[in-house]
Chains A and B, each alone.
Chain A
């Protein structure tokens, strides 16, 4: 469509005609909720911290040479042997909790977003196929979806990991397997509604090829519910990953995610060394809550049934 957007004399558009794009409308409606904006800002800060961790963290918690076992289980605010201040204390291996949380966020967010994107690609394609093809293809895909959704996610993920073994990639695979069904069901639902609308018939009349109708006309109109589900599923994936790691089946012990940090400190909770579990727990909670705040507002703004 480059030719349609390029080369128009600007004078042809009267200055009064400020184009209200669907995107601008969406932004202003989203910003109407202070709480959602707060969630978004919080989430952006968390992402920034995670991305910049190698540069801003006091310590590289994965580099065993930097860890001093003598500094193990120090209270928040203690100064270690090498002169470094542990603002959030240390764990049993002398790892700075603040650095551990920053790096742990990196892993949690990567796993969460990565699995959500992959699950979305798989699920949305299958859902679109089910809606457009109908018949047996539809039945087959939807039976798989039902099967998947009726099985407890954590149990399915545990079984997959028990089979595949630990590792970040394996966790992502397990999460994709347990999450694609949500995307498939969502996309199929909205595609079934959208494909009956007359602009799809018009596109067929114009002899546009099927893949163009699906990806240029149908899919963009199915995106809003998909974005909502996607946001919520990122939060869910992060929580699931934390659970799996907590249970010892997730990421490897050498590169702890938030869930594994919590698990590591769990045994010391009762002996008063709360910080080893507590602060990673807070980080996890804040991350999930901020994503859900954004997701809730997205659902309100993008859900046409709630509008006028």
Chain B
């Protein structure tokens, strides 16, 4: 699989960002129910539950790049992916698409921007409308947006299905008649049918069998070469990401803690959290270094720890970590990390 990846990597360097997040945050609040509002009126202190799903993230993805986004469950990966795909507005900050603020675009421009970025979802069962035939699932958007000439839809849908590795003669069937891997291919065909150049894959293979995973990953890489696609590849599995990504971004509780070219992250991980994660990656060649693994529970995002979010689980934590949020700083060319240990050195 790795031989496939060599060629486009050089091209990725130095080109313009296709998407850029500037200080993007997303907060979810549970509005108080009636009883809650009532006791608040009466002067009782009631806190509205606010989840900082994404907290001040800067990130840019250049054209042709495959960026892997990694983190434990609940750290805000999907939320970040949705904001990148333009289906969820950020609470703070800007999502800049090819130099334009996504939230400020309107009408035809907003639609074009949205179409150029598509998402591939985790659950191959929930991501397809069970009441539509495959041909309708794939053909609806291109027809609605006028991407195909009149009368050309049949052939167009067939092309999309074939490209995603499906037999077009099955297009009159309903999603429940397909296997998980086939359904994921339908989802890919649906996304590609609106001619995107950027795919956000949110745990796109996590729900599949290992053998099927490899097929779908290979399909992603084939499509990348054929269509010159850019990927944001979200996963909680560093092993999958290592195979595909040019660059890896590690998230912890809504924040980016480390960001570096793929080989760099695996060869010289800087952040204690990354190092703990790496210890969890199953490897064929035994590594000499042995890490402690990620100890302890993931803290509640409702009530994140002060300072560095990782301090309750970090073996190197010291006083400053509890008080001050570490900034994302360059530790090597193209390699950034958010840890106070880097200042001490």
Chain A contacts to B: CB under 8 angstroms: 1, 3-5, 7-8, 12-14, 17, 19-22, 135, 197-199, 201-208, 212, 217, 220-221
Interface flag for B233 (CB, 8 Å): no
A198 and B172 contact, CB distance less than 8 A: no
Q: Mark B65-76, 1 if CB is under 8 A from A, else 0.
A: 000000000000
A206 and B153 contact, CB distance less than 8 A: no
Best-surrounded residue of B86, B115, B123, B140 (most CB of chain A within 10 A): B140
**Given known A3-B151, A4-B139, A206-B141, contact A13–B121 (CB-CB < 8 A):** no
Q: Mark B104-118, 1 if CB is under 8 A from A, else 0.
A: 000000110011011
**Given known A17-B173, A204-B87, A221-B131, contact A1–B119 (CB-CB < 8 A):** no
Nearest chain B CB to A137's CB is how many angstroms away? Answer: 13
Interface flag for B145 (CB, 8 Å): yes
B136 and A4 contact, CB distance less than 8 A: yes
Q: Give Cα A29 to B330, complex, Å.
A: 63
Contact of B126 among A5, A8, A17, A197 (CB under 8 A): A197
B127 and A205 contact, CB distance less than 8 A: no
B111 and A198 contact, CB distance less than 8 A: no
**Given known A198-B127, A221-B131, contact A17–B144 (CB-CB < 8 A):** no
Q: Give the number of chain B interface residues (Cβ < 8 Å).
A: 47
Q: Give Cα A217 to B140, complex, Å.
A: 11
Interface flag for B57 (CB, 8 Å): no
B150 and A3 contact, CB distance less than 8 A: yes
**Given known A17-B169, A22-B130, contact A1–B136 (CB-CB < 8 A):** yes
* Chain A residues, Cβ within 8 Å of B144: 206, 208, 212
Interface flag for B82 (CB, 8 Å): yes
**Given known A4-B135, A4-B157, A22-B130, contact A202–B187 (CB-CB < 8 A):** yes
B190 and A22 contact, CB distance less than 8 A: no
A221 and B170 contact, CB distance less than 8 A: no
Best-surrounded residue of A13, A19, A197, A198 (most CB of chain B within 10 A): A198
Q: Give Cα A207 to B114, complex, Å.
A: 6
Which residue on chain A has the smallest CB distance to residue B134? A4
Question: In chain B between 174 and 204, which residues have their CB closer than 8 angstroms to a CB of chain A?
Answer: 174, 176-177, 187, 190-191, 194
